[in-house]
Structure 1
Amino acid sequence: MRFHRLLSPILVLLLFFLFFTSSSEVTKPTKLVDSICKKTWNYTFCVNTLYSDARVGNPDADSYLLAYVSFGLAYTNATTTSSQIPVLLKNANTKKDVSLQHALRQCKLYYKKAVSAIEEAYNDLNSETYSYLISLTKVASDSASNCESSFNGTVKPYPLTERNNGLKGLCEICVVVSKLFT
């Protein structure tokens, strides 16, 4: 079964809620979540992101579960963003904004690469080899950064900044979790 079919629609809604609402404090994180999130650029984002999946609140949640949750959230972000790009592109075509059209076409390619990398990382996680988790996660993160850079020279605010930053933050969590397996 393909990875995207494993994701619950509720997870998509939780991710949407996470990115478009202000952060709220989560009850005291477990030691594992705390140690992971302390290694990220935004502790609160990390804790709120991981706890957006109720399974993480279970005291028995281990590094494997956190890996599946973090990669699942990254995948959801990447696929959702990827599906938004054609809508943005259609709107840019209507406005005849050539530079924005070009940037969005570039982002479409970058997000295709990001989705593919996260799917491959998920397969690596499933096979319990863990060999390429970090490098594949960096491919996805770089894809978000490259997408963002594509908008240089277009009118601000860039339409995917929040999504790009979200994917980079999620990928950072994935990298920290992946290091638990090396």
Structure 2
Amino acid sequence: MSQDEQPVFRPAGGPGLLLRPWEPEDAQVLADSCLDPAIQRWNRPGRLSVEEARARIARWRGRWQSEEAAVWAIHRFTEQRPMGMIGVGDIDLAGGSGELVYWLLPGGRGSGAMVDATVRVSRWALEELGLHRLRITHSVANTASCRVAEKAGFALEGTMRSALLHADGWHDEHLHARIQGDPWPVDELRTSAGR
């Protein structure tokens, strides 16, 4: 990873979406995202000033160079303002694993954008980066995240009891995963056939 620039790409079959590294100019969007109640509830980002958001973006770029994580801004081609974030964290190149994390601002929800982004980033991580296993974990109460994982072809492997502390207490977490060789969702295969 550290020898290459972080890729920029469209999710397979995406509705005019681009995934690109976060830029310092995106700091206001990142700071504003921390005020969204759903993002606060499920992702626990804390509150960020614009300067703190710039520092976080710089850390994300540093984590690419140190081969620990890859984080992208999601936005429509017709707009430069990000509407979401997706990334692979806890990258273990030697062990072949990583964990997907994601969120969308209200304007991007319900559009299928996150499923498309999840499939595209998963294909990159498994087919290009060479990871063997990817996981997604989320609170069992977060049904939207569960739908994204399932539609993107991540099998539900089980429930981790009292696994993550949220503002309202400890939550049980679903564990979803996909490994190299798992079939891709049928819709994704159809839309990427021409690539």
Q: Same fold (TM over 0.5)?
A: no
Scaled by the length of structure 2, the TM-score of the pair is 0.30
- Please identify which structure carries the higher helix content: 1
Return the TM-score normalized by structure 1: 0.31
Structure showing the higher strand proportion among its residues: 2
